[in-house]
Amino acid sequence: MTKRALILGISGQDGAYLAHLLHRKGYVLHGSSRRAGPESYANLERLGLRDRVTIHSVDLGVSASLRALLSEAAPDEIYHLAGQSSVGVSFAQPEETFASIAGSTQRLLEELRLAKSGARVFNVASSECYGQCDVPADERTAFRPRSPYAAARASAFYTASVYRESYGMFVATGIVANHESPLRGRQFVTRKIVQAAVRAANGENASLDLGNITVKRDWGWAPEFVEAFWRVLQSDRPQDYNIATGETNALADFVQEIYAAAGLDWQKYVKTDNSLVRPSEFEATRIDASKIKRELGWEARYKMRDVARLLIRRERDGGLGPFAGELEI
């Protein structure tokens, strides 16, 4: 039988790429966006999917609205990707961030419990939940969130665990490291770096101010990360998995690779600005993603340097190019 999937937060980077993947697998697709309109459809339009998905305008903060969505979509699988997703923005909007992430997760799971739904749920969390990692964090490592965003994701993670263990629901969480693509929103630092590098390569006066460039993170390629989301819901039992490349690099190295891909020396264009440093910034994220490789057969093929070259290539040609399985580095 044809499976039905509901993607909460379908207008974002991950939602759009996931919709592309599931469409190719023959799913009937439903998606939610708080304000269904041209802006919400932009990423789906770019992927040629607008007419392949039923879009619902839903406020996940209202139980009745969510209940109606679940009844109409009747999903076999739910991918909960919605919520305010910027670490930096979360310091300015902590209440909204917590409500959109932790609040919506609890509300979704409670509605599914009351409806006695058998839908499988993928809940997205962030490697930011681990905080400072002196050694690679595996799925048993304690969370030490250092931002309102990470605290909200950690709360949603524990809520998902409670519903799984208390009510036997199929709820699994992917603890996801940084992952980039041409669909990344303009508020994210990697998007700003790529755009500044391309402008500079085109001869424009495009200096770039950044905060702490010594921070180290794990950067992957979003089109292949969403396959991991799907694999988590195809497993025999619900478990939590780290989804990452397993490679950690400094932001300065990422900047260098992006500018080098554009044929430039980054030090001529980039300067640091201490006013852009986030409160309680931590130095390094190190992630052990061996469990998902061992149990589900998923492994990231594209690491930071690949991602930098891909981002510049797509920004320059103005398109999205082929997808993960077809890319050549």
Q: What is the pLDDT of residue 95?
A: 96
Mean pLDDT value across residues 302-327:
76
What is the token pair recorded at 298? 């998923």
**Catalytic residue IDs:** 126, 128, 149
Complete DSSP assignment for 250-304: EHHHHHHHHHHHTT--GGGTEEE-GGGPPTT--SB--B--HHHHHHH-------H
Segment among 105-114, 269-278, 312-321 with least mean pLDDT: 312-321
CA angle 189/39/123 to nearest 5° reads 65
* Interval 174-196: pLDDT, tens: 999 999 999 988 888 899 999 99
- Helical H runs in the chain? 13-24, 38-46, 63-73, 87-92, 94-98, 104-114, 148-167, 189-201, 222-234, 251-261, 290-296, 304-317
Whether the per-residue pLDDT at 213 is higher than 70: the answer is yes
Output the pLDDT for position 319: 59
Q: Which residue has the tokens 């209202």?
A: 62
Q: How many CB atoms lie within 10 A of CB 67?
A: 15
Which residue ranges make up each domain of the chain?
4-182+221-246+286-301
Report pLDDT for 38: 64
Give me the phi and psi of 308, to 5 degrees please: -60, -45
> Given a cut of 50, is residue 326 above it in pLDDT?
no
pLDDT above 90 for 116: yes
CA–CA separation, 204 and 206 (whole Å) = 6
Average pLDDT over residues 211-228: 96
**Of 132, 69, 135, 128, residue with least CA distance to 101:** 128
With tokens 């139980």, the residue in question is 63
For tokens 């819901």, what's the residue?
233
Model confidence pLDDT, tens digit, residues 7-62: 999 999 999 999 999 999 999 999 998 766 666 788 999 999 989 999 998 999 99
- What is the DSSP code (8-state) at residue 176? E
Gap between the Cα atoms of 81 and 252, Å rounded: 29
Helix (H, G, I), strand (E, B) or coil at 43: helix
Q: What is the pTM of this model?
A: 0.94
Architecture of domain 4-182+221-246+286-301: 3-Layer(aba) Sandwich (3.40)
